[in-house]
């Protein structure tokens, strides 16, 4: 066997070796990231059940945020807004946590702030946890305090509610005027008359909380 052939075989084996190592590393790294992501969500739930409603808990640095970013953002599985909103809703044990992407999609469809609708829902019904039943005792999936015909408006699902409210917000108020301060006198007239600015302040507080999570991803 001549030296040239031996050299070619050696080079081929070398390349195969590093391809195998690279595949093994990426595969295990990805698996590790997914495992860490599961741990992150479980840890978030633990914080919530312990009475923590901020992310991360005061005084702690959650370095695993980078894993969330690499798993979701770099691979294009979800955008950063969806990740931030899902963390926010999970922190508050919201039944709408799995619909974070729908919130973002609908806001982008109509061109208004993606934090607005979930923040209103948070203020009105603890993001759906305290959603009212109608006069017939039916679940309304109404996280925004909407009334219709003297009763709580009933949606067929959380997703249905998110999409309906996004449409009504955009066309009822106009995208240019779609912010808590300008909405308050109409959206919650009784709130505005009783304590001007408080409703808007509450919604803005939650919008800022979502933004803080987003900024730290």
Residue of 148, 156, 150, 85 whose CA lies nearest to 121: 85
82 falls within a domain: no
Question: At 19, is the pLDDT very low, low, confident or very high (cuts 50, 70, 90)?
Answer: low
| Domain count across the chain | 2
| Joined tokens for residue 217 | 């991803």
Quick one: pLDDT at residue 79?
87
Does pTM top 0.85 for this prediction? no
Residue 13 has a CB neighbour count (10 Å cut-off) of 10
Residues 123 and 103: their CA atoms lie apart, in Å, by 16
Q: What is the CATH number of the domain that holds 194?
A: 1.10.530.10
Which long-range contacts link 135-144 to residues 24+ away (Cβ below 8 Å)? 143/96, 144/117, 144/120
1 falls within a domain: yes
Quick one: pLDDT at residue 35?
43
Quick one: pLDDT at residue 174?
81
Domain containing 185: what range? Answer: 93-217
Element (H, E) at 151: strand 151-152
* Greater model confidence, 180 or 54: 180
Question: At 196, is the pLDDT very low, low, confident or very high (cuts 50, 70, 90)?
Answer: very high
Same domain, 69 and 101: no
DSSP category for residue 156? S
């Amino acid at each position: 066997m001549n030296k040239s052939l031996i050299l070619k075989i050696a080079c081929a084996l070398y390349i195969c070796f590093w391809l195998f190592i690279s595949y093994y590393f990426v595969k295990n790294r990805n698996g590790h990231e997914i495992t860490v992501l599961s741990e992150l969500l479980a840890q978030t739930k633990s914080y919530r059940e312990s009475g923590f409603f901020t992310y991360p808990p005061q005084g702690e640095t959650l370095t695993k945020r980078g894993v969330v970013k690499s798993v979701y953002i770099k691979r294009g599985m979800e955008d950063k807004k969806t990740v931030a909103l899902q963390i926010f809703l999970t922190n508050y044990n919201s039944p709408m946590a799995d619909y974070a992407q729908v919130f973002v999609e609908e806001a982008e469809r109509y061109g208004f702030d993606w934090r607005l609708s979930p923040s209103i829902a948070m203020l009105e019904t603890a993001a759906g946890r305290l959603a009212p039943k109608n006069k017939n005792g039916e679940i309304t999936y109404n996280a925004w305090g909407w009334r219709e015909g003297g009763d709580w408006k009933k949606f067929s699902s959380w997703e249905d509610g998110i999409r309906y409210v996004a449409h009504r917000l955009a066309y009822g108020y106009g995208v240019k005027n779609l912010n808590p301060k300008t909405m308050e006198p109409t959206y919650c007239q009784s709130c505005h008359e009783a304590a001007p600015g408080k409703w808007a302040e509450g919604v803005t507080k939650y919008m800022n909380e979502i933004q803080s999570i987003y900024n730290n991803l």
